[in-house]
Structure 1
Amino acid sequence: MSQPVALKVEPLTAAAFAPFGDVIEAADSARHFPINGGNTERFHDLMTLATDPDGHAIVSIFRGQPRTLPLTLTMLERHPKGSQAFMPLSGRSYLVAVARPGEGVSVADVCVFLARGDQGVNYAPGTWHHPLLALHATSDFLVIDRAGPGGNCDEVTLEPVGIIPA
């Protein structure tokens, strides 16, 4: 068994996350404009929802149990037939562990981001990621992803494992 690899956690920004998908947030850099007689600010077209031709978009709520740090990452998953978006409903920060799409992935490829409670992520199709990493308390997330025929979840075991420090 190989020695675990310590993973660095960095703040979630649109630029740093771009190789993996979209950051969903009401940022000044996003296209935004007033609607509804000026009573609402619309932050427009914040992500690209992708599905294969046989699939369709669905909306779910995932309830994540809090993870304790330090945390050992032993696996990643990917969804090759569509994107998968997570938007926190609890207002709590959470972790995002990702690696670029490709056939193989190793712990050296993993990037870890600390997302604020007002930031969501949209994983591009095929992007390797760890399942939901809620922190501090049980947290709900609005999830938009693909449903349809055929398998759409591949998993890989990390060897060596990665450690997200406390």
Structure 2
Amino acid sequence: MKIEALQPESFAVFGDVIETETALRHFTINEGNTERYHDLAHIDPGKDGRVIVSIFRGQPRALPFEISMMERHPRASQAFVPLSDRPYLVAVAPAGAAPRLEDVRVYACHGSQGVNYAAGVWHHPLMALESVSDFLVIDRDGPGDNCDVVQLEQAGLISEQDVGAALKLS
């Protein structure tokens, strides 16, 4: 599968890239001691939901890795912010009907970039690389089912060479 460097413009249809470099509002607070990168993602807890904060500890994926399923959270957004300063991958497909392999886009993310999946966007579960990695996760708790899982009709393969090349570009 082709892997792209994570860029706010190409990821916008799926949600937000969370990083200081693309902050629209940035200012100094706390008597000049802290830089605030303000409002980096649209966190949407959905109707009757509440925002929760968790830490997910991801085991590294062995490469080559096969993408054979996708999930979505139809009621709310879900943000992942890396805490371990390690690269990782995200695979996404547009909200709507169950995705086909040709709908899936894969992004290489460096350890200072987070993602916020918009409500209903199909994505693959956490894909840490290299070693165990922690992520701060901001998502929804509340009534109703908020996770749909589908198997892809055709699986896609992520190779070690493609990951290496993509990480050099990111």
Please indicate the TM-score interval, normalised by the length of the shorter structure. Answer: over 0.9
Any stretches of 5+ residues in structure 2 without a counterpart? Answer: 161-170
| CA distance, structure 1, for counterparts of residue 97 and residue 23 of structure 2 | 33
Q: State the partner residue of 1:61.
A: 55
Q: State the partner residue of 2:166.
A: none
2:104 aligned residue (74, 99, 110): 110
Q: State the Cα distance separating 1:28 from its structure 2 match.
A: 5.0
Q: State the partner residue of 2:70.
A: 76
Q: State the partner residue of 2:151.
A: 157
Q: State the partner residue of 1:3.
A: none
2:45 aligned residue (19, 32, 51): 51
Letter in 2 for 1:12: L
Q: State the partner residue of 1:4.
A: none
Q: State the Cα distance separating 1:30 from its structure 2 match.
A: 2.9
Length-normalised TM-score, structure 2: 0.92
1:12 aligns to 2:3 (yes or no):
no
| CA distance, structure 1, for counterparts of residue 132 and residue 28 of structure 2 | 34
Identity of paired residues, percent? 59
Length-normalised TM-score, structure 1: 0.94
1:121 aligns to 2:115 (yes or no):
yes
2:138 aligned residue (141, 144, 149): 144
**SS at the partner of 1:38?**
coil
Letter in 1 for 2:46: D
Q: State the Cα distance separating 1:104 from its structure 2 match.
A: 2.4
CA offset digits 1:34-80 (Å, max 9, x no partner): 11111111000000011222111000000000001111001000000
Q: State the partner residue of 1:100.
A: 94
